[in-house]
Amino acid sequence: MDLSGIRRESEYRWVIEPSGPMRVPAVLYADDALIRDMDDKVRQQVCNVASLPGIVGAAYAMPDAHWGYGFPIGGVAAFDAGQGGVVSAGGVGFDISCGVRALLTGLQREEILKVQQALAHELSRAIPAGVGSTGRLRLSSDEMDAMLTRGARWAVERGYGSVADLPHIEEEGCIAHAKPGAISQRARQRQRDEMGTLGSGNHYLEVQWVAEVFDPKIAAGFGLTAGEVVVSIHCGSRGLGHQIGTDYLRDMALAAPSFGIHLPDRELACAPISSELGQQYLGAMRAAMNCALANRQILTHLCRDAFRRILAGSELGLLYDVSHNICKVEEHEVGGVKRRLHVHRKGATRAFGPGHAAVPEAFRSFGQPVLIGGSMGTASYVLAGAASGEALALSSACHGAGRSMSRHQATKQWHGRQLVDELEARGILIRSPSLRGVAEEAPGAYKSVERVVDVAERAGLAHKVVRLEPLICIKG
């Protein structure tokens, strides 16, 4: 990235002061190496976000930021409806409510190693993955509406997990004010057979173990111990979310002139929060969030069944589930005043600190669990939200390592079969229906997750709790 015109405010905080159409500063969190390696499109995109109507405070880029559609991936911005603030479909993304769910197994690494091959086979058989993958559910129109309205609660009511899971899910598994009627028939049709599926791209179900504990007290509070096995599930709202993004980006781009909105980039298509179009999008997006929460709940049930078939009597409890492609109404203090804001996080994770009312009571004294996924073959992390993150970036943190090269570039450099063999030699079993998909998600195609997480902690965005290493990865 060209650093001219960027002021280094502290070791890990870089500021671009408003100029031209920018209404607020742009703030990037990175160390020297990460900011140099960010492409210039990140700078351009975060400045474009800072130009949108009704933006509050600043436009932020997390340490894993890279070029995305409209917003940079790793972008965070909040808007005030009372000041003409907008909601942007590009600021949420196509994979609405893509997120991570972590499950506690109570098992030790040695127990998994004894059955590693059998468990990898059983999980790959049980978890539908890949482009166009379909599940065993076929939703009627009424069931679709119920799922879109009640989210993970709908899934639990139909036998996928238990009510004990719900307090450990963002918004207790159900996003209020969803509007299934704001979703097109095409979006509904795409989702009809896709519940309980991983999908493709960077989505995965991974069996991991706690390789390092940074904060024993918080780790114990989260139920994590050294050597324990954890399962992470990373996926979103599948075809439904993608179609909602496609539909509303088109509608918002066409309607922008009627709202008097000049778009610095068509990909930033948006609508005033208070407009009918803005409200329709928010209702559709919230329904997609419920879809993603229900999807991860069904996958949890399938994963638990697979574990029981291989390890009789095993019980997988839910640590936490949090989304990272969303727009949510939250209260934040800006300029010493509490304000009700619409916070966009695209490829960024909510990271509320200790004492926040939205954090489950079991974790409230520690801060919200922040689940950071690595890439296939690399480490993942569990962090805790930090109180300092509120003022720094609206209680937000990175969501992963962030890509350092495109999928197309990755397939030129790596071959799927070679990667599968190399990772197995390291004790990591990869199961995927697509060797090309494996090549696209090569560990080397991503930034160093260790560096990204270290910057997030040192900048005060979140606090490291444990590092997880992979044993089995089911890839789309």
Q: What is the dihedral of CA 256, 260, 262, 266, to 10 degrees?
A: 0
Other Cβ atoms less than 10 A from the Cβ of 456: the count is 30
Nearest 5 degrees, angle CA 72-CA 331-CA 348? 25
For position 336, what pLDDT does the model report? 87
Burial 355-374, CB ≥16 within 10 A → b, else e: ebeebeeebbebbbbbbbbb
242 is a catalytic site residue: no
Alpha-carbon distance of 346 to 402, in angstroms, equals 12
Residue 452 lies in a domain: yes
User: Based on the structure, what is the number of domains in the chain?
Assistant: 1
Query: Which DSSP symbol is given to 215?
Result: -
Sign for the pseudo-dihedral over CA of 373, 325, 90, 9: negative
Alpha-carbon distance of 245 to 284, in angstroms, equals 9
Alpha-carbon distance of 268 to 248, in angstroms, equals 11
Residue 203 lies in a domain: yes
Across the chain, which distance is largest between two alpha carbons, in Å?
64
For position 466, what pLDDT does the model report? 98
Start-end of H helices in 158-275: 185-191, 216-222, 238-255
Residue 286 lies in a domain: yes
What 3-state class would DSSP assign to 235? Answer: strand
Strand partners, 99: 235, 323
Residue 27 lies in a domain: yes
Domain span including residue 221: 7-475
For position 132, what pLDDT does the model report? 78
For position 475, what pLDDT does the model report? 92
Residue 2 lies in a domain: no
**Residues of the chain whose pLDDT is less than 50?**
none
Residue 12 lies in a domain: yes
Q: What is the dihedral of CA 221, 225, 229, 234, to 10 degrees?
A: 40
Q: What's the CATH code of the domain at 363?
A: 3.90.1860.10
- Give the DSSP H or E segment for 389: helix 389-393
Q: How far apart are the first and last CA of the chain?
A: 32
Cβ–Cβ < 8 Å for 295, 98: no
For residue 134, the one-letter residue type is T
**From the candidates 168, 203, 342, 399, which is the catalytic residue?**
399
For position 351, what pLDDT does the model report? 97
Instruction: Please name the residues in contact with 414: beta carbons below 8 A apart, sequence gap of 6 or more.
Output: 439, 442, 444, 445
For residue 310, the one-letter residue type is I
Other Cβ atoms less than 10 A from the Cβ of 114: the count is 11
Start-end of H helices in 200-313: 216-222, 238-255, 276-310
Alpha-carbon distance of 123 to 128, in angstroms, equals 9
For position 137, what pLDDT does the model report? 84
Residue 16 lies in a domain: yes
Lookup: tokens for 334: 């800006």
For position 429, what pLDDT does the model report? 97
For position 136, what pLDDT does the model report? 83
Residue 31 lies in a domain: yes
Would the pTM count as exceeding 0.75?
A: yes
For residue range 295-320, list pLDDT tens digits in order. 999 999 999 999 999 999 999 999 99
Classify 159 in phi/psi space as left (phi over 0), alpha (psi -120 to 50) or beta: left
